[in-house]
Amino acid sequence: MSNWPYPPIVAHRGGGRLAPENTLAAIETGARLGHAMIEFDVKLSKDGQIFLLHDDTLERTSNGWGVAGDLNWDELLKVDAGGWYSGAFKGEKLALMSEVAERCRTHHMMANIEIKPTTGADRETGRVVALAARELWQGMTAPLLSSFSIEALEAAQQAVPELPRGLLLDEWRDDWQALTTQLGCVSIHLNHQLLDQARVAQLKDAGLHILVYTVNSPRRALELLAWGVDCICTDAIDEIGPDFRA
Ligand code: G3P
Ligand code: CA
């Protein structure tokens, strides 16, 4: 089985449910609670900047609107990405991946970078994110790249084969072994509801590490860890804290 340096608990979208997702405020919240690893979503602006956002469009998590990938970074910087969550975060900006890398360096946190391409930009996003991640995380634990997009993972693999990759699935696929082998994945990242103990054993026997999302029940987290799951990605970053297993 491959080297796996990552901790058992991962703060989903940086700060889970305690801060506006995928912002620097979220990253700082995860760090303040002592989390050793954060997950966040990245995509490309029209002018090729790598920034954090979950959705294709801006409406849900900002006061902007439309497809984020159609805008240049200077336009995206005008958006308020915190006020939708609470008044306390009003004025929070969208974040660049480079800024997140610096926070990871400062706080000694590891990263799971989810490549979340704007529709149709899969290959370019996978390539550009992998190349930038290699540069930005120099001297730190290698970031774990993941994506639901097979094209993005293929492009990342071709551009920077040495960075670890995980295949994200939100439904069970019987061809998981062929896919993870083809993409050179060290891990599989699954909706936890897809798993039972037998499936965990099957995946582990194949040499894969397992990350599950999004687990907000401490009881369920304990069950999954007891089955052999390696990483719990959670929004409940206070209840399921960095020392959860201790
Ligand atoms: O990477 C795990 C999880 O973040 C995937 O789902 O929709 O929260 O990005 P989503
Ligand atoms: Ca994600």
Nearest to 76 by CA among 91, 94, 61: 94
Share of the chain above pLDDT 70, in %: 99
Q: How confident is the model at residue 3 (pLDDT cuts 50, 70, 90)?
A: confident
Torsion, CA 56, CA 43, CA 110, CA 84, rounded to 10: -40
The residues, any chain, with a CB within 8 Å of residue 177's CB and separated by 6 or more, are 206
Catalytic residues: 12, 54
Give the number of other Cβ atoms within 10 Å of residue 195's Cβ: 18
DSSP tag of 117: P
> With contact defined as beta carbons under 8 Å apart, do 23 and 10 qualify?
no
39 Cα–ligand 1 center, Å: 8
Give the number of other Cβ atoms within 10 Å of residue 157's Cβ: 20
213 Cα–ligand 1 center, Å: 7
* Mean predicted lDDT score pLDDT of the chain: 97
Two structure tokens written together for 41: 């979503």
> With contact defined as beta carbons under 8 Å apart, do 81 and 94 qualify?
yes
Residue 246 has pLDDT above 80, yes or no: no
> With contact defined as beta carbons under 8 Å apart, do 133 and 166 qualify?
no
Q: How confident is the model at residue 2 (pLDDT cuts 50, 70, 90)?
A: low
Dump pLDDT digits (tens) for 9-68.
999 999 999 999 999 999 999 999 999 999 999 999 999 999 999 999 999 999 999 999
Q: What is the mean pLDDT of residues 122-133?
A: 98
Nearest to 143 by CA among 5, 15, 9, 50: 5
Dump pLDDT digits (tens) for 92-116.
999 999 999 999 999 999 999 999 9
User: Which of 214, 224, 231, 235 has most ligand 1 atoms within 8 Å of its beta carbon, as the pocket-test mutant?
Assistant: 214
Q: How confident is the model at residue 157 (pLDDT cuts 50, 70, 90)?
A: very high
2 Cα–ligand 1 center, Å: 23
The residues, any chain, with a CB within 8 Å of residue 131's CB and separated by 6 or more, are 159, 160
- What number does the ligand 1 atom closest to the CA of 146 have? 1
Supply the residue whose CA is at minimum distance from atom 2 of ligand 1.
213
- What number does the ligand 1 atom closest to the CA of 114 have? 1
Q: What is the pLDDT of residue 61?
A: 98
Residue 232 has pLDDT above 80, yes or no: yes
Determine the topology of domain 9-234 in CATH: TIM Barrel (3.20.20)
Cα torsion angle, 217, 221, 223, 224, sign: positive
pTM of the model: 0.98
What interface predicted TM-score (ipTM) does this complex get? 0.99
Q: What is the pLDDT of residue 105?
A: 98
The span from the CA of 51 to the CA of 139, in Å, is: 22
User: Which of 110, 114, 216 has most ligand 1 atoms within 8 Å of its beta carbon, as the pocket-test mutant?
Assistant: 114
Q: What is the mean pLDDT of residues 127-146?
A: 98
Q: What is the pLDDT of residue 1?
A: 58
| Per-residue buried b or exposed e for 67-83, using 16+ beta carbons within 10 Å of the residue's own CB | ebbebebeebeebbbbb
Residue 229 has pLDDT above 80, yes or no: yes
Rg of the chain on CA atoms, in Å = 17
The span from the CA of 95 to the CA of 51, in Å, is: 6
- What number does the ligand 1 atom closest to the CA of 41 have? 9
